[in-house]
């Protein structure tokens, strides 16, 4: 019964967990849906002990988890685009990808309107440009991030989201551009936040959180009403570390769509968020040559 109470507390009260020591709160929130795997284990223990009270106690976290995540079990699907929708494809293509051309062809087959990529390298860039050239003639590539579009792009500028104390001038992992779609203009941000690390001191997320705060302040100054942020944010939507972004932008919560690691995905850390558009769904796509899975988001005007 104590374990069931603890599980219920973690599900409902994860926001009260401290984050100052080892980013404990962020660590739990990153894998929050996986807490549900403890429910059948506790239920089996309760049944083995033939304790009706223990069985009833386990039902509490089961109901809580179902309320929080049950709606995501059906998945999001990758239905064809319908009139009035914008399809945004997000992918960290990996700087160790051995088949960039094959990855690019797979992304095109998903039928997106916009393609946002991270971890682009000078060696791989020509392969992406060649495959995307026909269907996505408009592009902006700055540093290791890029945006390809069916619609005209203007005003592409780099964004400095380097965390405090990070002096590497070549670290260019964010951009902003204006997409001129038939329905109107959209400010599109592409970003790759710093990675997190697990160590003896817990979750190392200070740099990622700092970059998220910097990007959030930039979003506050955005003059356009329609905004899309696509990127490898190295965190899930439940993680308070992305609060500066999730408090300003919305995302579809349909399906779990875990994207990392590609072989056995545990978390969706690749995100498409928006403002001034309605997020319909977000779905993970089949693996490419990257250690991340692509995701495609359907946004309605």
SS (H, E, C) 210-262: HHHHHHHHHHHCCCCCCEEEEEECCCCCCCHHHHHHHCCCECCCCCCCCCECC
Residue whose entry in the numeric block shows the structure tokens 């999730």: 246
Assess contact for 56 and 80: CB atoms under 8 A. no
Convert 40-72 to b/e letters by CB count within 10 Å (16 or more is b). eebbeebeeeeeeebbebbebbbebbeebbeee
180 shares its domain with 281: yes
**Does residue 182 sit within a domain?**
yes
155 shares its domain with 42: no
111 shares its domain with 216: yes
Cβ count within 10 A of residue 198 = 11
Q: What pLDDT was estimated at residue 167?
A: 74
Question: Taking 60 as the threshold, does the pLDDT of residue 28 lie above it?
Answer: yes
265 shares its domain with 171: yes
Assess contact for 5 and 16: CB atoms under 8 A. no
Question: Based on the structure, what is the number of domains in the chain?
Answer: 2
User: Could you tell me how far CA 265 lies from the centroid of its own chain?
Assistant: 13
With CA atoms as reference, report the closest residue to 187 among 220, 141, 212, 210: 220
Model's pTM, two decimal places?
0.92
Q: What is the pLDDT of residues 280-299, one digit of tens each?
A: 999 999 999 999 999 999 99
Residue 174 structure tokens: 């964010």
Q: What pLDDT was estimated at residue 261?
A: 96
* Sequence-ordered strand ranges (E) for 19-123: 85-92, 114-118
Average pLDDT over residues 213-222: 98
**Does residue 229 sit within a domain?**
yes
Name the more confident of 78 and 265: 265
Q: Quote the CA–CA distance of 23 and 190 in Å, as a whole number.
A: 26
16 shares its domain with 123: no
The set of residues, in sequence order, having a beta carbon less than 8 Å from that of 268 and lying 6+ positions away, is: 236, 237, 256, 257, 258, 259, 260, 282, 284, 295
Domain that holds residue 294: 85-300
Cβ count within 10 A of residue 197 = 12
63 shares its domain with 99: no
């Amino acid at each position: 019964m104590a374990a069931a109470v603890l599980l219920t507390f973690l599900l409902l009260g994860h926001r009260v967990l401290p984050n100052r020591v080892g980013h404990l709160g962020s660590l739990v929130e990153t894998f929050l849906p996986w807490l549900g795997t403890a429910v059948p284990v506790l239920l089996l223990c309760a049944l083995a002990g033939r304790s009706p009270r223990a069985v009833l106690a386990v039902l509490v976290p089961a109901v809580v988890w179902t309320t929080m995540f049950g709606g995501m079990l059906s998945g999001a699907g990758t239905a064809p685009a319908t009139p009035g929708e914008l399809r945004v494809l997000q992918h960290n293509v990996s700087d160790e990808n051995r088949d960039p051309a094959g990855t690019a062809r797979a992304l095109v087959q998903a039928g997106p309107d916009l393609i946002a990529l991270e971890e682009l390298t000078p060696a791989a860039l020509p392969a992406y440009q060649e495959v995307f050239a026909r269907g996505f003639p408009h592009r902006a590539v700055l540093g290791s991030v890029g945006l390809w579009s069916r619609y005209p792009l203007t005003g592409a500028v780099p964004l400095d989201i380097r965390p405090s104390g990070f002096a590497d001038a070549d670290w260019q992992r964010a951009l902003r551009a204006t997409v001129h779609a038939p329905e109107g203009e959209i400010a599109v941000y592409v970003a790759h936040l710093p990675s997190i690390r697990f160590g003896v001191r817990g979750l190392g997320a200070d740099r990622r959180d700092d970059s998220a705060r910097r990007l959030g302040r930039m979003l506050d100054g955005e003059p356009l009403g329609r905004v899309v942020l696509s990127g490898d944010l190295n965190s899930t939507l439940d993680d308070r570390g992305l609060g500066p972004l999730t408090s300003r932008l919305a995302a579809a919560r349909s399906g779990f769509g875990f994207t990392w690691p590609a072989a056995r995905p545990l978390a969706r850390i690749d995100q498409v968020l928006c403002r001034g558009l309605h997020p319909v769904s977000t779905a993970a796509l089949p693996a490419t040559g990257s250690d991340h899975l692509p995701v495609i988001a359907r946004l309605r005007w």
